[in-house]
Structure 1
Amino acid sequence: MKRTKFLTQAAMIAAIYVVMVEVFKPFAYGMVQVRIAEALTVLPFFTAAAIPGLTIGVIVSNIIGPYGMIDIVFGSLATFMAAYLSYRMPKKALVPLPPVLVNAVIIGAMLYFIFLGTPDEMPLLPIMGWVGLGQIVACYGLGYPLMNILEKYKDKIFR
């Protein structure tokens, strides 16, 4: 029963993540991005099932997305790391921080590599800054309020 609940929660989180990326696709990719679905990165605060759920959601989203295998590999790796670190955060206010920092560095570096030698090329640190800023909007601006709302209903949603 417990394993079924874990798998069901992970699958639902993955599905919701993919739908959110697709619905808000114009904002989800690029050097300047606010991936609205990243608001869900606060879910490890409530359940460990969010770790595989978010990771699978990112894998599926990046399979559909424009950057190919590099994004599938590094995007999902960044998400897995950030979700695990969020799960381990000792204070609620710190839960959204790992997705901000991990994605700023890993996705920023990935985008730098993708756009290197193209007309859209930009220095590494500004790209990391733009990715980090987008993550702050998604994780703290949207995710933290979501976490406060879900906390009121956690016994009903995540039991």
Structure 2
Amino acid sequence: MNTKFITKASAIAAIYVILVLLEIPLGTLAFGNIQIRIAEGLTLLPLIESAAIPGVFVGCIISNIILASVSGLGAIDIIGGSLVTLIAAYITSKMPNKVLGSLPPIILNGLIVSIWVSYFLNIPYLITSISIGIGELIAVSVFGNVAIYVYNKVMKNANR
């Protein structure tokens, strides 16, 4: 790892945390059974930037630690949710395009994160899975494309 990689990963982690902090006033839209976490749009960045893999992972860990006191999901969300994000980011990095790259975070969050969210919030798994999946679809497809666009613009200007 070089300094440039660590700097990019750190910046992505910081942006993830900032976006989550901005969402806390939205309440359960950021961490309940309906999760439209704008920061999850950053999970599409591994398609074009390898530093985004540790960046979104670390950002998710920090965010989930902050949200643990608000959401009540605790250690399972801190560890489990962050690992799901890491695995999704890695798989996304191996995908050939944005459409297929969107699927890992949508599917993994919809199927896995829903397990403990449905349990702790006492909402049926299927309803939770569908709602988290739809929220992730919105976050990744809309905000993920915005993140890629902005990232490309920033990198283009940085390389001038």
TM-score computed with the length of structure 2 as normaliser: 0.87
Question: Once structures 1 and 2 are overlaid, which stretch shifts more, 47-56 or 85-94?
Answer: 85-94
Identify unmatched segments of 5+ residues in structure 1.
Answer: 116-120
Aligned: 1:53 with 2:52: no
Aligned: 1:140 with 2:146: no
Provide the alpha-carbon RMSD of the alignment. 1.9
| Structure 1 residue 93: Cα displacement | 2.4
Pairing 1:1-159 to 2, within 5 Å after superposition: 3-25=2-24, 26=26, 27-65=29-67, 66=71, 67-115=73-121, 121-151=122-152, 154-156=155-157
Question: Contact between 2:6 and 2:51, CA under 8 Å: does it hold in 1?
Answer: yes
Which residue type is aligned with residue 24 of structure 1? E
Question: Contact between 1:14 and 1:54, CA under 8 Å: does it hold in 2?
Answer: yes
| Structure 1 residue 152: Cα displacement | 5.3
Give the Cα separation in 2 of the matches to 1:149 and 1:4: 22
Question: Contact between 1:18 and 1:57, CA under 8 Å: does it hold in 2?
Answer: yes
Give the Cα separation in 2 of the matches to 1:157 and 1:83: 24
Give the Cα separation in 2 of the matches to 1:157 and 1:85: 27
Identity between Structure 1 and Structure 2 (%)? 41
Identify unmatched segments of 5+ residues in structure 2.
Answer: none
| Structure 1 residue 146: Cα displacement | 3.3
Give the Cα separation in 1 of the matches to 2:91 and 2:158: 22
Give the Cα separation in 2 of the matches to 1:147 and 1:88: 16
Which residue type is aligned with residue 16 of structure 2? Y
Residues 9-47 of structure 1: per-residue CA shift (max 9 Å, x gap): 111110110010000122311001200111111110121
Give the Cα separation in 2 of the matches to 1:79 and 1:133: 16
| Structure 1 residue 153: Cα displacement | 5.4
Question: Contact between 2:47 and 2:97, CA under 8 Å: does it hold in 1?
Answer: no
Give the Cα separation in 2 of the matches to 1:43 and 1:106: 21
Q: Which has the higher helix share?
A: 2
